[in-house]
Structure 1
Amino acid sequence: MDLSDLTIFRAVVREGGITRAAEHLNRVQSNVTTRIRQLEEDLQVPLFIREGKRLHLAPAGKILLGYADRLLALAEEAQSAIRDPHPRGVFRLGSMESTAAVRLPALLSEYGARYPKVQLELRTGTPTELSTSLLNGELDAALVAEPVAEARFESLPAFVEKTIIVTGADFPDINLDDGVPKTMLVFENGCPHRRLLEAWYASRGDMPERIVELTSYHAMLGCVIAGMGAALLPESVLCTFPEAKRLVRHPLPEGMNRLKTFLIWRKDATSPNVEALADIIAKDPQNSLAEAS
């Protein structure tokens, strides 16, 4: 049983017989008759009660007609959705946690206002995790830090984050050779800010004695205030932290003090939903690279 079988079956019911159905469908009568008999054989039940040349719906035919109407309507809806150039349906977006906390509220609010037929779903993770999810078809687009695998993804520059190291107020000046923090507060492997912090240690010819992995920036910053160690993160995150005044900000050297974020999607899987988000990012100066230049 396929959609064409259901189309023929419904036409026979609506037109009141094989002859009119064949005319309506622009088919020969024998073809319509054969397809109806094949459908009955596939379902192993009679769909019509035959009285001479007249056909009446059998009980099984009445049941099938309801399903046929729903299935054919759903098929028409699917075709319309595929051909519709306007954003609609579920949009599965991935993001790094820092981007989700600081950049996405205003961005997604605008997106939702412009495209109310889109149902947004958000997943956070590291750039590696998000890229893998994109390739597996689990996400439609993601906001990740550089570098981007250009061979696999289309990309659009979205933000430039100023990166800093933060410590508690009583921590020694880490610009001095003897002030390197011995404890790093980090996210799991794959976090771009962890990678930058490790590069900063390496540039000073040092390495941490202890690494503490945490799962949120606010937890990390709370531990920083408590004197547990240092953390590297986008400076924009501090605006969401109520105790930011108790933190000391330490600038990073050129080459380590900026981190670009890109909107990426699979090269073979663009969609109106992704294109709409890319358009907002590209045209809104508050969501563009110009903000941090």
Structure 2
Amino acid sequence: MLDPKLLRTFVAVADAASFTIAADRLNSTQSTVSQHLGRLEAATGRQLIDRAARPIGPTPAGERLLGYARRLLTLQAEAEALLADPAGTATIRIGVPDDIVTAPMSQRFAQFAERHRAIRLDVTTGLSRDLSRRFRAGEFDIAIAKEPAAGNDARASFPEPLAWFESCELSGGWPDPIPLVTFPSGGLYRDLMIDRIEREQRRWYIAFTGNSLGSVLSAVEAGLGVSVLPVSTVAAHAVRASGIFTADAPLVVSIYAWECGGATGELVAAMSEALSNRPGEQINTKPLNKR
């Protein structure tokens, strides 16, 4: 491997066409510059500077090396600058349900990242049950989960009213069996829907399965079926509360974190603020439980 210090000396001599000027530019002495150049020539086995020329300049071998030397020195400078910048050297891992990553929540993430350049936010979306499991397994530092009741270790919890929704374009009642628009198996809303419709002794079938809130809402808007959704998520969509069933009991949105101080505590507070200000007139924004 070629020593960057020797390459820097070689480039300086080639650019200055003078050992004396190169030494001044390097804040060194002429003898040190000569020693460095000699060591580089010994390492490459080639004479790199024609000392007999006036002015002195690179030999053919030196000309071939010069371009590579500049590129190597540039890469070294970039690497040193990258390592000197603390941005992204620490990570906070966050798990959240898809519909929680709203514009206000994303703004809280951006504001936090601007204040803490050394911290990289690693956000994963998924189903609440899976997020809870992964948080308990230590895969997340912070997790938000929707659940029937908040755990004792929840940092804060907020009510999540639910309702059955259908397309605003729907005319007449739903057929028998009832078409359902759902999230994938294991989804909390899907299980609530099926449990309720079974208790009502109604027949049903899955008409559409979507992996995101956006796809489920689009399917409901199009009239593909009826679905249970959080009241806070539907304001901008052409859906309405369905009279097929009365509203189910609300869930809670709970935020969990292993730490409550420092940067993690600051982020938990910002995320809790975003949760408390979510749209939906029927939502009580006062935390149910705060530790």
Q: Please say if residues 164 and 252 of structure 1, whose CA atoms lie closer than 8 Å, have aligned partners that are also in contact.
A: yes
Aligned to 2:132, the other structure's residue is in SS state: coil
**How big is the shift at 1:71?**
0.5
User: Does the aligned pair in 1 maintain the 2:108–2:274 contact within 8 Å?
Assistant: no
CA–CA separation in structure 2 for the residues paired with 1:55 and 1:196: 84
2:141 corresponds in structure 1 to 155
In structure 2, the residue matched to 1:258 is: 252
Q: Flag structure 2 segments of 5+ consecutive residues without an equivalent.
A: 14-18, 145-156, 277-284
Q: With structure 2 as the length reference, what TM-score do the two structures score?
A: 0.56
With 191-200 and 29-38 compared, the bigger mean Cα shift is at 29-38
Distance 1:260 1:247 in 2: 27
Cα shift at 1:56: 4.5
Q: Quote how far apart the aligned CAs of 1:87 are.
A: 5.8
Specify the alignment match of 2:76 in structure 1.
72
Give, in whole Å, the separation in 2 of the partners of 1:59 and 1:199. 78
1:60 equivalent to 2:64? Answer yes
Contact 1:161 1:236 (C-alpha < 8 Å) held by counterparts: no
**What is the alpha-carbon distance in structure 2 between the residues aligned to residue 220 and residue 278 of structure 1?**
33
Do the aligned residues in 2 keep the contact of 1:156 with 1:262 (CA within 8 Å)? Answer: yes
Decide whether aligned partners of structure 1 residues 13 and 152 sit closer, same or farther in structure 2, where only a CA change above 3 A counts.
same
Look up the equivalent residue of 2:51 and give its one-letter code.
E
| Aligned pair partner of 1:185 in 158, 181, 185 | 181
Using the alignment, how far apart are the partners of 1:154 and 1:92 within structure 2? 5
Instruction: Compare the two structures and name the one with the higher helix fraction.
Output: 1
Task: Tell me the distance in 1 between the aligned counterparts of 2:4 and 2:203.
Answer: 69
Cα distance per residue 1:210-252 (max 9 Å; x no partner): 34224654554465467643312222111232x3445458432
Rounded to whole Å, the distance in 1 between the matches of 2:107 and 2:47 is 52
> What residue in structure 2 maps to residue 9 of structure 1?
7
Structure 1 residues 124-203: aligned runs within 5 Å: 140-144=122-126, 145=128, 146-149=131-134, 150-158=136-144, 160=158, 162=160, 164-168=162-166, 171=173, 182-189=178-185, 191-198=187-194, 200=196
Q: CA, structure 1 residues 245+72, in 2 after alignment: closer, same or farther (shift >3 Å)?
A: same
Whole-angstrom CA distance in 1 between matches of 2:50 and 2:194: 81
Across the aligned residues of Structure 1 and Structure 2, the Cα RMSD in angstroms comes to 5.1
Indicate conservation of the 8 Å contact 1:87/1:276, yes or no.
no
Q: Are positions 1:286 and 2:250 aligned together?
A: no
Determine if contact 1:186/1:194 at 8 Å carries over to the other structure.
yes
Alignment equivalent of 1:232, drawn from 228, 231, 237: 228
Report what 2:16 is aligned to.
none
Residues 35 and 226 (structure 1), Cα distance of their counterparts in 2 relative to 1, 3 Å cut = closer
Residues in 1 aligned to 2:112 and 2:212: alpha-carbon distance in whole angstroms: 31
Which of structures 1 and 2 has the larger relative contact order (alpha carbons within 8 angstroms, sep 6+)?
1
1:142–1:263 contact (8 Å) kept in structure 2: no
Partner residue of 1:271? none
Secondary structure at 1:140 match in 2: strand
Unaligned 5+ segments in structure 1 are 120-138, 173-178, 265-274
Please give the alpha-carbon distance, in whole angstroms, between the structure 1 residues aligned to 2:47 and 2:228.
70
Bigger CA drift: 283-292 or 69-78?
283-292
Cα distance in 1 for residues equivalent to 2:202 and 2:47: 80
Q: Which residue of 2 aligns with 1:212?
A: 208
- Closer, same or farther in 2 for the Cα pair 1:92/1:68, shift >3 Å? farther
SS class of match (1:153): coil
What letter corresponds to residue 109 of structure 1 in structure 2? Q
Paired residue total: 236
- Kept after mapping to 2: 8 A contact 1:165/1:252: yes
Shift of 1:77: 1.6
For 1:70-149, what aligned pairs fall within 5 Å after superposition? 70-81=74-85, 84=86, 96-100=97-101, 103=102, 105-112=103-110, 115=113, 140-144=122-126, 145=128, 146-149=131-134
TM-score, normalised by the number of residues in structure 1: 0.56
